[in-house]
Amino acid sequence: MGIQTYSKGLLIVLSGPSGAGKGTVCSALRQQAPELVYSVSATTRQPREGEVEGINYFFKSKEEFRRMIDEGELLEWAQYVDNYYGTPRRFVEDRLEEGKNVLLEIEVQGARQVKERFPEGVFIFLLPPSMKELRARIQGRGTETEDAVQNRMMAASDELEQVHQYDYVVVNDEVAKACHQIRSIMVAERCRRERLFKENPDWLEGF
Amino acid sequence: MGIQTYSKGLLIVLSGPSGAGKGTVCSALRQQAPELVYSVSATTRQPREGEVEGINYFFKSKEEFRRMIDEGELLEWAQYVDNYYGTPRRFVEDRLEEGKNVLLEIEVQGARQVKERFPEGVFIFLLPPSMKELRARIQGRGTETEDAVQNRMMAASDELEQVHQYDYVVVNDEVAKACHQIRSIMVAERCRRERLFKENPDWLEGF
């Protein structure tokens, strides 16, 4: 009999300050790594054009969302700019049990909650290459007033302090490079001795 | 100013029981990752056909080797089947300072010494897919008596116990897969938050 390598899926949490480019990196990963499962969030915000229920988000009313919180159906949730966002727990847990890696792309406050509940997750902090670039990206959206830009920059500064809660730091100066680093992290984590023996302390007995 | 990512090289220590296929995996890595520096060992054993001084090994007399031990010129050394093997320290340290990753392919006893001197190294334990396959590989060399095969199998069993000293475990059931995992580990380790901030505690200040 040969040896069994790590069999459960990894929960990969990709977070970082607003403006780091989490969405862009995730879209690129979707192309490159179709075997990766992308968690679908629940939200109370209005769908934007082209967003599809169950693909981009599960769209919920505020009452429904509060019920999900109360009944422990969310792995994490946060209120952000007057709306709720959260991660349905069951979907993630089922995929991990099937041995699939699941990617959560979430805000910094949500990532903190996931870390409490899933310390065995792999926490990746995505950074823009510089604060100057971050400002350019936030302004580039063209949808924000100067005050709003200022607020987002201050929020980003606070979020940066959270870096010490994370296992890895990926600098998003090139999307392709960031994706390559994230995919490498997933491969490496499945080879971590600590993780292998935590899952199965008698790992070497079948050898 | 943008942020500086990890600037020093990584010392990658590839070890594991005799028969795991360390040499084969290293040869394949040489093809795939020419940017990686391969440490050249010193040894007192006789050159085999085709082996070149300074490329495969630095061939030394026993007196010369003992002088190198006494003067602390070796990062690790071991006696193995009546010969000495060791890693000249200076060569490795200079390459790491230049920012290059250096790969050491060494026996388990040598890896222990490196871990004491370089706890920040990345320690990878290479495993054959099974004990059965290990025996087949040792027998397949065709150069050993049944007693010698038996001795090597027992030595391998002892060496397996050392797995708990390592950061990563790579199962060498396919050389290409093993190489991919090792290369992924190198990319991932340069993104480790702990490593980044250990090298430069003010890492985020230049941000």
Does residue B42 contact residue B87 with C-beta atoms inside 8 Å? yes
Contact A5 B130 (CB under 8 A): no
The answer, for B200 touching chain A at a CB cutoff of 8 Å, is no
pLDDT in tens, B84-106: 989 999 889 999 999 999 999 98
- Check: complex ipTM more than 0.95: no
The answer, for A148 touching chain B at a CB cutoff of 8 Å, is no
Task: Give me the number of domains chain B comprises.
Answer: 1
Residue at B60 is within a domain: no
Please report the pLDDT score of residue A1 as a whole number.
47
pLDDT in tens, B153-176: 888 888 898 999 999 999 999 999
pLDDT in tens, A124-153: 999 998 888 888 887 876 777 888 888 888
Q: How confident is the model at residue B47 (pLDDT cuts 50, 70, 90)?
A: very high
Residue at B34 is within a domain: yes
The answer, for A205 touching chain B at a CB cutoff of 8 Å, is no
Taking 50 as the pLDDT cut, the residues of chain A under it are 1
Q: Does B72 belong to an annotated binding site?
A: no
Residue from A137, A167, A168, A172 whose CB has the most chain B CBs within 10 Å, to mutate? A168
Residue at B65 is within a domain: no
Q: What is the mean pLDDT of residues B125-137?
A: 87
Q: Identify the CATH number of the domain in which residue A130 sits.
A: 3.40.50.300
DSSP state of A9: P
Residue at B63 is within a domain: no
Integer angstrom CA distances of residue B124 from B28, B135, B190:
16, 22, 15
Residue at A199 is within a domain: yes
Please report the pLDDT score of residue A3 as a whole number.
64
Q: How confident is the model at residue B107 (pLDDT cuts 50, 70, 90)?
A: confident
Domain enclosing residue A166, as ranges: 11-39+100-206
Q: Does B16 belong to an annotated binding site?
A: yes
Residue at B157 is within a domain: yes
The answer, for B1 touching chain A at a CB cutoff of 8 Å, is yes
Q: How confident is the model at residue B3 (pLDDT cuts 50, 70, 90)?
A: low
Distance, in angstroms, between B136 CA and closest chain A CA? 13
Residue at B186 is within a domain: yes
Contact A130 B3 (CB under 8 A): yes
Residue at A144 is within a domain: yes
